[in-house]
Each structure stands twice: as structure tokens, then as C-alpha cells.
Amino acid sequence: MNELLEIYEKNRGFIEDFLKDTILNNTSNLLNEQNLKNLFNYFKSLELVYIVDNNTKIQISPNIYRNKTDINEKNKSRSYLFRKIDIEKSLMSPPYKSSATGSICITLAIPQKDKTLFLDFNLKKLLERLKLLETHTLFDSITKLFYALSGFFMMFLSFAILIYSCYEILKHGEITIMSFFKPIIYITIAIAIFDLSKTLLEQEVFFKSYKKDENIEKKTFVKFIISILIALSIEALMLVFKISLNNISLMSNAFWLFAGISLMMGTLTFFIKNSKKFYVSHQESTLFN
């Protein structure tokens, strides 16, 4: 919703000029009911058209929809529209939820002598038709279904790993410090998978975003890698204990494992540091340009 409003406000002047010029250039008499019905052929996002008298602020035409006409709204006061739209400054209203259609729409007002023509446009469809919002209904539905199935399956796996980690602790006859290491690794991996699935469902299914937020994607990536590093560190610590108890000559293997983990930590630190610098410089350039 916020993204639709942001895109609309950013392109409000262009949208107003495009709609107004298209209507005035393609329709000679805007007060003719048949001509008003023809406007639906030009605009797939147009939902409702009606005419209001400027003096009485009373609606003098029925509500004209794409496939029907409703006379019940005729002779009703529309004074609130003149308060909502300052025609001297702009011919378009701010976005709002239409009581007639139930969708988020904007209203365009076109003065015609002593009358005003009001046209309600579905905001999302309008932005899509003007290529200001890139969406594809079928593709988006398939993508959302795939992400939903993947996200919930990953959640199921994380719970399964969590349950298995509890089983690993309880299956041993006697509980030792070593018997806790593997379950801790499993739990850490389960948390990483659950966090990844939660972010996937939030960003792609339940709170679908029309624009990519690189900051959120980076945070998800960093959290996932940190969880893996924790699991590897615990595995390395467990390896050190095993080697020290059984064969100290194999300690070099643990050293190389720690070296690899340290290299990954250094690389991750470099990535986080440079990402923050890029984000700050990007914000500054956006602010001053």
C-alpha cells in the first residue's frame, strides 16, 4: 500500500496530464452518457464515472460503471469531493478506498462549464497500465505459491531438526558434555533455516513488496551466514576436544578448520563494513540530488 502511494505521489503530475489530455483529445462531448461509456475503452483502470452540478454540488447523472449503470446515487450531495479536490491546484484527489467499488482509487475531476465530470480509477491497475508498477498476475501467483510451499517446507524442516536434536540428547544412556555438542549444532542450523523461511514468507508471500529492499536482503544473508559460522565453530570446538582425548597428532586438522572459519568471519566483516559505507553514500546522494 505504501509503495503504491509513493509511486503515485512521485508521478502525480505525469499521471494527471496523461489522463486529462487523453480524455479531452479523444472525447468531444463529455456530458453525453454514451461518450462517457466509451471512456472505458480507453482506460482499463477506469471504474466509475459521474457528473456533478457545480452550483448545487448534487450528482446529476447515474453512476456509470464498466458493465452497468446505477441510478440510486443520482441526486446525492457530492460537496465532499470539492473539498477533497482543489481544482485550482490539481484535478486529482489523494488515494482513498472507494465506497462504490471497495478498491483503492483516485478521482480525476474535469470541469465542464457549470458541471464537473468525476472519474474514479483503480490505483494499482492505473500504475500497472502506465508501466509505473511492474507486475504480472499469473506469474506473481505462481511465484507466490512456490515461495509459500518452499517457506513452509523449510519451517517444517527446522522443526524436524529441532525435534531430532532433542532426541540426540535423550538417546544416550549417560549424558556427557560431548553429547550436547551435536544437538547444539542441529539447533543452530534449525534457527538459521527457520529465520530464512520466515524472511522468505514475509517478503514474498504475506507482505509482498513491489520493489526490492536490498538492505533487508543483506540482513537476511548476514544472519544466515552468522548462524552457519556458529554451527561450524561449535563443530570445530568439538573436534578439538575429540582430538585432544584420542590423537593429538591430528590437531592440525582442527587448526585448518579454525583458519577457514576465521577467513569466513573476516570476509563477512568486510562485506558488512562496505555495505554500510555504500548505504550511507547512497542515502547522501539521494538526499542532495
Q: Could you give the 3-state DSSP secondary structure of residue 98? A: coil
Span of 65-79, 195-209, 213-227 with lowest mean pLDDT:
213-227
Q: Who contacts 78 (Cβ-Cβ below 8 Å, separation ≥6)?
A: 52, 57, 58, 59, 118
Give the pLDDT score at 136.
66
Please tell me whether residues 113 and 143 are part of one structural domain: no
Give the range of the structural domain holding residue 111, as residue numbers without chain letter: 2-129
- Mean pLDDT confidence for 235-258: 77
Please tell me whether residues 217 and 157 are part of one structural domain: yes
CA 136, CA 126: separation in Å to the nearest integer? 14
CA 50, CA 75: separation in Å to the nearest integer? 11
Q: For residue 61, give the CATH number of its domain.
A: 3.30.450.20
Q: Count up the domains in the chain and report the number.
A: 2
Cβ burial, residue 108 (10 Å; 0-12/13-18/19+):
buried
What's the chain's average pLDDT? 80
Which of 129, 158, 189 represents a domain boundary (last residue)? 129
Please tell me whether residues 152 and 256 are part of one structural domain: yes
CA 4, CA 32: separation in Å to the nearest integer? 33
Which of 73, 95, 129 represents a domain boundary (last residue)? 129
Cβ burial, residue 46 (10 Å; 0-12/13-18/19+):
buried
Which of 129, 159, 177 represents a domain boundary (last residue)? 129
- Give yes or no for a contact between 200 and 150, defined as CB atoms under 8 angstroms apart: yes
Please tell me whether residues 95 and 49 are part of one structural domain: yes
Please tell me whether residues 106 and 125 are part of one structural domain: yes
284: confidence class by pLDDT, cuts 50, 70, 90: very low
288: confidence class by pLDDT, cuts 50, 70, 90: very low
Beta strands in the chain (DSSP E): 46-53, 63-65, 69-70, 96-97, 104-112, 115-122
Q: Could you give the 3-state DSSP secondary structure of residue 135? A: coil
Q: What is the pLDDT of residues 105-151, one digit of tens each?
A: 889 998 888 899 999 999 888 888 888 877 667 777 888 888 889 88
Q: Could you give the 3-state DSSP secondary structure of residue 59? A: strand
Task: Kindly tell me if the per-residue pLDDT of 45 is higher than 80.
Answer: yes
CA 49, CA 74: separation in Å to the nearest integer? 12
244 vs 267, more confident: 267
